[in-house]
Structure 1
Amino acid sequence: MAHRDIGQWRNPVLRYVLLAIGTLSVVCGVVGIFLPVLPTTPFLLLAAACFVRSSRRFYEWLVGHRVLGPLVRDYLEGNGIPLRGKVLAIGTMWISIGVSCWLVPLPWARAGMLVSATLVTVYILRQKTLRRPG
């Protein structure tokens, strides 16, 4: 699965930053497979976005991976997000936003976090829900 933006960033510093963020996102995504409170798919999508701009090899490895690849491909091909992924992503986000709002006393920062979380929630809910057979 090729993408026209692969290798777009010629700045080596930015390329390595994107590779590092992508790698960390893959690690978090894999951990999320085993920890139900950590959403897997959003981390893998972030990794794909970083790799598509920094490394054709890592991007193709991710989308072609036997276990991780279908999670990324289903979203990229417009098949949707699994219901479990939606629930975990939204739930984890709102828990972290709630804790952040509790810790940050600045009203403008709280408002920004709440608006951002609301918009992301609407975006996720508007995505097609992937129904897996079985």
Structure 2
Amino acid sequence: MLIRLLWRALASLSLGLGALGVLLPGLPTTPFLLVAAWAGSRGWPSLEARLLAHPTYGPSIHHWRTSRAVPRQAKWLASALMASSLLMIWLLPAPHWLRIALSLFLPLVALWLWRRPEA
């Protein structure tokens, strides 16, 4: 029972963050919905079913589950947001270690992302 509640809590938190991502630019929606569906499959099957049946986000969740596919539009958007983050971290006051860390980490994330198949 406690484990099921923990899965539901994770699913709820992820769903809430995904909903915020719809409203806030720069906060992704789909990754949080992927986590919500994953956690829902373990503790809240009806939530998972609703997410999979959603007309907008359901196909993305299905493509990710079946082939780890990411749509090209999402790749471009994520890459643009990462590039703008790098530009801002170098133009605004920030610790030097953070600038270096992000300059190394974000291109690796972009490389990983672009190596995923497309939906």
What are structure 2's unaligned runs of at least 5 residues?
none
Other-structure match for 2:46: 57
**TM-score normalized with structure 2 length:** 0.71
- After superposing the two structures, state which structure 1 stretch, 50-59 or 62-71, moved more: 50-59
Does 1:25 find its partner at 2:26? no
CA distance 1:10–1:43, change in 2 (3 Å) = closer
CA distance 1:20–1:62, change in 2 (3 Å) = same
Answer 1 or 2: which has greater helix percent: 2
Does 1:111 find its partner at 2:100? yes
Other-structure match for 2:87: 98
**TM-score normalized with structure 1 length:** 0.65
Aligned length: 119
Q: Give the superposition deviation at 1:92.
A: 1.5
What are structure 1's unaligned runs of at least 5 residues?
1-6
- The alignment partner of 1:129 has SS state of coil
Matched-pair contact (CA < 8 Å) for 2:15–2:33? no
Matched-pair contact (CA < 8 Å) for 1:40–1:85? no
Distance in 2 between the 1:46 and 1:104 partners?
Answer: 33
Which letter does structure 1 place at the counterpart of 2:18?
Answer: V
Out of 59, 79, 83, which is 1:70 matched to? 59
Per-residue deviation, residues 68-122 of structure 1 (Å, max 9, x unmatched): 2001111211162211111011212332343244445222222222222112101
Q: CA RMSD in A?
A: 3.3
Out of 10, 20, 30, which is 1:41 matched to? 30
Any runs of at least 4 consecutive aligned residues in structure 1 with deviations exceeding 6 A, and if so which? none
